């Protein structure tokens, strides 16, 4: 089995593990635009010591190119753990990020997220040029 065979996808409106990519459908070439990626927009994902999102990665695949480019790697390392026990800690990181990008071509954004229990999940969003 290849790693890619283990990546799951579904509709983010009904599956809490699917990353949600939010940004404009069209952007201006060479200009900064904002991209938000999170989980649990419609169905909340837990954020506990036992069940949490470890990281989100964001990629851009320019239209017509062979390869994708990683544009961000975001780790979430505080999930309520402490010496007092699970979910007793003083800090929790939330599984959402905001990135600012510049693209020169239309293409597709891809987001991967890793749940410590339920594995890898992906989603994508096409980006056009205005």
Question: For the segment 33-90, what is each residue's pLDDT rounded down to a tens digit?
Answer: 999 999 988 888 999 999 999 999 999 999 999 999 999 999 999 999 999 999 999 9
Cα distance from N-terminal residue to C-terminal residue, the chain: 41
| Domain residue limits at 29 | 3-129
The CATH number linked to 60 is 2.60.40.730
E strand segments, 63-118: 69-75, 96-101, 107-115
Query: Is 118 in the active site?
Result: yes
User: Which of 127, 122, 129, 130 has the alpha carbon at shortest distance from 61?
Assistant: 127
Q: How many folded domains does the chain comprise?
A: 1
Among residues 28, 51, 94, 100, the one annotated as catalytic is 51
Q: Are 10 and 18 in contact (CB under 8 A)?
A: yes
Query: Is 16 in the active site?
Result: yes
pTM of the predicted model as reported, rounded to 2 decimal places: 0.93
Among residues 15, 52, 81, 122, the one annotated as catalytic is 15
Among residues 79, 95, 115, 122, the one annotated as catalytic is 115
Query: Alpha-carbon distance 32 to 35, whole Å?
Result: 10
């Amino acid at each position: 089995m290849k790693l890619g065979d283990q990546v799951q996808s579904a509709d983010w409106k009904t599956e809490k593990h699917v990353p949600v990519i939010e940004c404009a459908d069209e952007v201006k070439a060479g200009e900064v635009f904002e991209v938000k990626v999170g989980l649990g927009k419609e169905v909340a994902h837990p954020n506990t010591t036992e069940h949490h999102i470890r990281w989100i990665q964001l990629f851009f695949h320019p239209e017509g190119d062979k390869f994708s480019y990683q544009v961000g790697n975001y780790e979430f390392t505080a999930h309520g753990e402490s010496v007092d026990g699970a979910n007793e800690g003083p800090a929790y990181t939330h599984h959402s990020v905001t990135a600012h990008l510049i693209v020169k071509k239309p293409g597709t954004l891809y987001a991967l997220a890793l749940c410590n229990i339920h594995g890898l999940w992906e989603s994508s969003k096409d980006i056009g040029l205005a």
